[in-house]
């Protein structure tokens, strides 16, 4: 994917699929998006162009990346590790308790590499870090370990 600044408008993102179909999205400064698809026989001829409001664009993203497809997944490496965001609910059993009390690393083998709280990022929180509802924990481990961590942190 490539991006091109469009002064006074926003940014255009261009993508060519593996089937050589060309798509572009213009991210307008006001939050709107214009999605365009180009003809295969003439890559400069637009076959479809749809302008979406910010809300419509968000709905489209939700359809393309539904929650049941693990939208929190950040990356997968060839080593079989994944990094994922896990949000701590306000009703969580762990709300107000210390991270060390979860015994997360011992029970799951995952590492908690950061905690996001409001607009603050806390890198490498230690066992004395006090969890709060609404925290988002960035965890890295095997798929099984991350799923086990999510189950532990989801305890109410």
Domain of 57, in residue numbers: 2-64
- Mark whether 41 and 83 lie in a shared domain: no
Same domain, 101 and 131: yes
Look up the pTM and report it: 0.52
d(CA 48, CA 91): 46
Asked if residue 79 and residue 124 are part of one domain, the reply reads yes
Work out the mean pLDDT of the chain and round it to a whole number: 85
**What tens digit of pLDDT does each residue of 132-145 get?**
999 999 999 988 89
Q: 78 with 147, same domain?
A: yes
Residues 137 and 85 sit within 8 Å (Cβ to Cβ): yes
Tell me: do 122 and 79 sit in the same domain: yes
Q: Which of 64, 93, 117 is the last residue of a domain?
A: 64
pLDDT digits (tens, 9 = 90+) for 34-43: 999 998 888 7
Question: What confidence score (pLDDT) does residue 95 get?
Answer: 93
pLDDT band with cut points at 50, 70 and 90 for residue 106: very high
d(Cα 152, Cα 156) in Å, to the nearest integer? 9
Number of domains in the chain: 2
The pLDDT-based confidence of 100 (bands split at 50, 70, 90) is very high
Last residue of a domain, one of 13, 43, 64: 64
């Amino acid at each position: 994917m490539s991006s091109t600044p469009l002064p006074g408008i926003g940014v255009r993102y261009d993508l060519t699929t593996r089937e050589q179909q060309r798509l572009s999205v213009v991210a307008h400064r006001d939050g709107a998006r214009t999605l365009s698809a180009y003809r295969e026989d003439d890559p400069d001829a637009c076959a479809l162009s749809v302008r979406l409001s910010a809300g419509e664009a968000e709905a489209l993203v939700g359809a393309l990346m539904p929650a049941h497809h693990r939208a929190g997944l950040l990356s997968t490496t060839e080593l079989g590790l994944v990094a994922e965001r896990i949000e701590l609910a306000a009703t969580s059993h762990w709300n107000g308790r210390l991270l060390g009390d979860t015994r997360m690393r011992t029970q799951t083998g995952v590492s908690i590499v950061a905690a996001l709280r409001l607009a603050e990022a806390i890198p490498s929180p230690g066992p004395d870090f006090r969890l709060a509802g609404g925290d988002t924990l960035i965890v890295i481990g095997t798929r099984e370990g991350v799923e086990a961590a999510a189950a532990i942190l989801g305890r109410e």
